[in-house]
Structure 1
Amino acid sequence: MIAPPRTDAEIPGYVEALGLPGLADIHVHFLPQNVLNKVWSYFDDAEVHYGRAWPIHYRDDTETRLQTLRDFGLRAIPALTYPHRPGMAAWLNNWNREFAAEHPDVVHCATLYAEPESADYVTGALEAGARLFKVHVQVGGFAPDDRVLDRAWAALSEAQVPIVIHAGSKPLPGAFTGPEAITRVLERFPALNFIIAHMGMPEYDEFADLAEAYSGVHLDTTMYVSGFFSHPAEVTPAFRERLVTLQDKVVLGSDFPNIPYPYADQIAGLAALGLGDDWMRSVLWDNGARLLGLGNGKD
């Protein structure tokens, strides 16, 4: 295997050595500044929430963060947002539309909340060109299988737009986290392109079952085996075999900028699983590029 990057400065050389046109990271956050300030304030108190410190590694201004990702090799930069209360999603979607319009390499993203208006603003976002959605079950505090979302899920299913959804029960469980509600949504809308954030942590096997059962379900690597919540050595041989089988379903995700370690740690952790350079090529570029519509990297 090609030696993985030890530092962020080594990421471009590693990507080039793999013969990739770049990185296709599907889980990156940009937020309105007032919202971002609140998110960072929450992480500043991480010892209260999580029992451990969570220093934001990329606590920079917007343009610096964008350039950092470009330097890593991202050919398209998601700007994932998510609401924590009713009446917020439509406003975030407007912000997302404007932010993407200001930056040609930013992916036009959108979000939703379990509320009657969701069908209208989800349809509006799709018509405006949104091509990646984000949903956070624990932060939003709503059930993804709430029938109020049926029209929104139907629109997203028909449009075949990917949805990065944080539904696992870590780092904090919620009333509606876990695979059960996601399974019920998929039973009603089996063509949905759900991208399960954090590999479904900690319900790894249950969410891997869904990735095997539904053609549109993928797993994103956000914080997985990065050394913060989990380490490569903790992954069982049986689950490594599942990851090999799911090579076309595992997608690079990072949670940039809100990670408490260098971006390179995520890539190095994935390489340390020892699944081969072809597996890494699929995860770092092929799968995410397909979902984001990046083609061969020349688009």
Structure 2
Amino acid sequence: MESVREAGSAEAAEVRRFWGGLGVPGLVDVHTHFMPERVLRKVWEYFDANGPLIGERGWPITYRHGEAERTALLREFGVRAFTAMLYPHKPGMARWLNGWAAEFAARTPDCLHTATLFPEDGAGAYVREALDAGARVFKAHVQVGGYDPADDRLDEVWGLLAEAGTPVVIHCGSGPAPGKHTGPEPIARVLARHPQLPLVIAHLGMPEYREFLDLADRYPRVHLDTTMAFTDFTEDFMPFPRALLPRLADRGDRVLLGTDFPNIPYPYLHQLRALERLDLGPAWLRAVCHDNAARLFGL
């Protein structure tokens, strides 16, 4: 039987051929998950238990490996920069997670120093601490956190991040499972107050693709990431309307590669092939897979 290492090396060769053919120096993936091991295991347990809600296939974790192996695999894929998307589900977690993320970034120089937030007293203070410590990207998860992003306790936070120009990857669409505060309306209220906030809408905002494209049209610092979009898995239950592809092509300077590695139910290469088969052209793929994020993060 093929070993995990052999399978990873074979896939890595195909991934490297993909980006090598685009003429870029590697990939920049703005949506990868690294977090304390016991927290990540809880995330995997959630997918194991709730996968059947997605359908009979469930949600198997393709890269259920240790931290060192996962990091090595991204490097073998040729991912020159990635993130440590982590997020609290209750008050009191964010500062602790930010401390772990700072340590991870210090020992993992190709990881963009990532931080997170939650609507709670003191959020402004620890977000400022994270910025002062060198955080380059934040993660917000409206569905898991169960909070309104327009909560007044986050107003200072959004203001700080807008002023700093620090991107926030935010899961705020209603897919794959809706939450009380998911959807475009709460984010529209945030952007009305903070129009310079550099948000990166995770998963292209699925399934409210059109509405989040509208927000990107209205606010020039709003980006979208491709996480799980266009894959066979997602197209089966939350397909991207093909009528919107011309708009996605026009917005190609603000679409960023995201994958959800390692928490994906298919190989990493499949996300890349799913983008390729949109047939939006090599210039669009170069921008999405490398150039846009390289510019956003000053790589």
Report the TM-score when normalising by structure 2: 0.93
Answer yes or no: is the 8 Å Cα contact 1:8–1:263 preserved in 2: no
* Structure 1 counterpart of 2:132, one-letter code: E
In 1: Cα distance, 2:114 partner to 2:226 partner: 19
2:183 maps to what in 1? 178
* Structure 1 counterpart of 2:71, one-letter code: L
> What is the CA deviation profile of residues 150-202 of structure 1, one whole-angstrom value per residue up to 9, with x for unaligned ones?
11111000000000000000111000000001000000000001000000000
1:35 maps to what in 2? 39
Say which SS state the counterpart of residue 185 (structure 1) adopts.
helix
- Correspondent of 1:254 among 256, 259, 263: 259
- Correspondent of 1:25 among 2, 26, 29: 29
Answer yes or no: is the 8 Å Cα contact 1:137–1:144 preserved in 2: yes
RMSD over equivalenced CA pairs, Å = 1.5
> What is the CA deviation profile of residues 34-53 of structure 1, one whole-angstrom value per residue up to 9, with x for unaligned ones?
10110111111134543441
| Structure 1 residue 253 displacement after superposition | 0.3
2:17 maps to what in 1? 13
Q: Is 1:54 the counterpart of 2:59 in the alignment?
A: yes
* Structure 2 counterpart of 1:186, one-letter code: L
1:102 maps to what in 2? 107
> What is the CA deviation profile of residues 239-292 of structure 1, one whole-angstrom value per residue up to 9, with x for unaligned ones?
111011101011100000000000011010111111011110010001111222
Q: Whose helix proportion is higher, 1 or 2?
A: 2
| Structure 1 residue 32 displacement after superposition | 0.1
**Within 5 A, what are the aligned runs for 1:1-299?**
7-52=11-56, 53-230=58-235, 235-294=240-299
In 2: Cα distance, 1:285 partner to 1:266 partner: 14
1:3 maps to what in 2? none
Say which SS state the counterpart of residue 80 (structure 1) adopts.
coil
Please, which runs of 5 or more residues in structure 2 have no aligned partner?
Answer: 1-9
* Structure 1 counterpart of 2:130, one-letter code: A
Answer yes or no: is the 8 Å Cα contact 2:167–2:200 preserved in 1: yes
In 1: Cα distance, 2:216 partner to 2:104 partner: 32
In 2: Cα distance, 1:51 partner to 1:227 partner: 13
In 2: Cα distance, 1:196 partner to 1:177 partner: 12
> What is the CA deviation profile of residues 70-122 of structure 1, one whole-angstrom value per residue up to 9, with x for unaligned ones?
11111112111100000100000000001111122121100000112110000
Say which SS state the counterpart of residue 110 (structure 1) adopts.
strand
* Structure 1 counterpart of 2:20, one-letter code: E
In 2: Cα distance, 1:266 partner to 1:97 partner: 28
Answer yes or no: is the 8 Å Cα contact 2:223–2:254 preserved in 1: yes
Distance 1:289 1:70, change over 3 A: same
In 1: Cα distance, 2:226 partner to 2:107 partner: 28
Answer yes or no: is the 8 Å Cα contact 1:8–1:262 preserved in 2: no
Answer yes or no: is the 8 Å Cα contact 1:24–1:74 preserved in 2: yes
* Structure 2 counterpart of 1:278, one-letter code: A
Please, which runs of 5 or more residues in structure 1 have no aligned partner?
Answer: 1-5, 295-299
Answer yes or no: is the 8 Å Cα contact 2:52–2:59 preserved in 1: no
Say which SS state the counterpart of residue 207 (structure 1) adopts.
helix
